Amino acid sequence: DQQVKQNSPSLSVQEGRISILNCDYTNSMFDYFLWYKKYPAEGPTFLISISSIKDKNEDGRFTVFLNKSAKHLSLHIVPSQPGDSAVYFCAARYNAGNMLTFGGGTRLMVKP
């Protein structure tokens, strides 16, 4: 039973446009949500996080939105750049616990 789901395995966007990556979760006890970016043959790199008590967090070109009633979060990248092409993982922490639960990832391709 996947508690964190990324329903789009891939997304293609033109350079300069907005990329929107989506994530759904089922467990209302998740208290922190994170986005990681992963290039081939490298470990995931932490991008941005949001506490469950907030609905938006922004860091430069990256903004994460959290809709608790819909159990949905999204990552917006504006403007998208070719270097953003990677696999993006959504992750959630359960109630101040010790581990993260990851979604299956979305491959983003930003075309020049």
Partner 1 sequence: GAGVSQSPSNKVTEKGKDVELRCDPISGHTALYWYRQSLGQGLEFLIYFQGNSAPDKSGLPSDRFSAERTGGSVSTLTIQRTQQEDSAVYLCASSLFGQTYEQYFGPGTRLTVT
Contact assessment for residue 101 and residue 36, using Cβ atoms and an 8 Å cutoff: no
Among 66, 93, 108, 110, binds partner 1 (CB under 8 A): 93
* Distance, CA of 12 to CA of 72 (rounded, Å): 21
Quick check: 16 binds partner 1 (CB under 8 A)?
no
Query: Per the structure block, which two tokens stand in for 71?
Result: 């159990």
Place of tokens 């953003």: 84
Is residue 32 part of the contact set for partner 1 (CB under 8 A)? yes
Segment contacting partner 1 by CB under 8 A, of 54-62, 65-73, 74-82, 91-99: 91-99
Q: How far is the CB of 81 from partner 1 (least distance, A)?
A: 22
